[in-house]
A and B are shown apart, each in its own frame.
Chain A
């Protein structure tokens, strides 16, 4: 295993893509993810790859579509407003069953919003985002190392399911520097051939990348096949971390960098003898609803903490399904809740219980 190197989140995600065998990147500038394309622009030519700054996020995602359809591992990154523009293309990718990795380093919204970290694209990311009945695999890292690991995994998952995968980070993940190591390297030549890709139909029938079905029954068939994939994801791809939940009476649920901050609040309360635990969903779709539901059986309440006005909250409530009360604490617009604030909210709720 290689030595640890100090890297910014955005750059580490880019390098992780290259290490996973991605040689094609299409993007458009937007803060706070600019280091990612800049890194690709520097690095990809060294690997005989292609970096292309597209005319817009719309063009970028459609270049991703074309490159993915031609069988390549391909990646794009953006931040909230740009991800909104990509939605039509992402829906086409899901409908045409194309793999690809999309990074969203979320900033505060709506509209042009701000450039500070936020988690306000949770619903957009996990419920499809564009038109039609589809899902992305959504992975939310809480550290630079985890961003590396999940990005590398994302390419395998995208290929396994022929479905786009989203890495959902925020400005903190993108901007912070941490030591990382890269767990290996795949060259594009080692990857299995994609028999369905459009590469020229020498000696076979033509391959077609398409999401159009003018017959209702045919389109329903496609949808049912997609739903089967999402079900398989729910069975095989749930990733979640639990901390001190075994004996917990109170449970905080948080994802991404928010979970990291929430953990300090949990530790502080534990020092004071309060039995608090933390559930950190890593895959946001598929959502770890069974784990959340199970822990809810023993909990007196759950507290969802997010950098938005309560989006994952809906999934927590669905998973808890009335087994215990679910409360919410969040800041938004780029304001990051401190561990002190979370601790105080937790203690206020604990006092209310007693």
Chain B
């Protein structure tokens, strides 16, 4: 083997608007980087193989699976988690609607749900319930039965569309 392959990788990236420099093991995924290296425990790891969506975060503006995003690939990336999105008020209306509709119980899935919903809402328009379901189909919730989540997302999409018109 050559020394071209490294076991530990030096990384510079931006997390929630702040520059971060750290060294990670080569097999580190983004959720462990966030939770273990940076102490940002809002993003959750459920299945760690891409199925549940609890780990959904934004990388360069697009939702990705944190558990399937290998940290060494993130040099220069711009990462946003539920902590940063909350601080900047970027999901405030979604959060309020989730509370109002009881769209969470244990809350394990919620940070991922909010990031996935944000992508749909930010795309504009008023998606139908079927479109909301299809879009959110990659995020599992073991508590709520989904109906309330669809309600909350639908409410915010409508409110934003009305706000944009008035």
Chain A bound to chain B: no
Residues of B within 8 A of A (CB): none
User: Which A residues fall within an 8 A CB radius of B?
Assistant: none
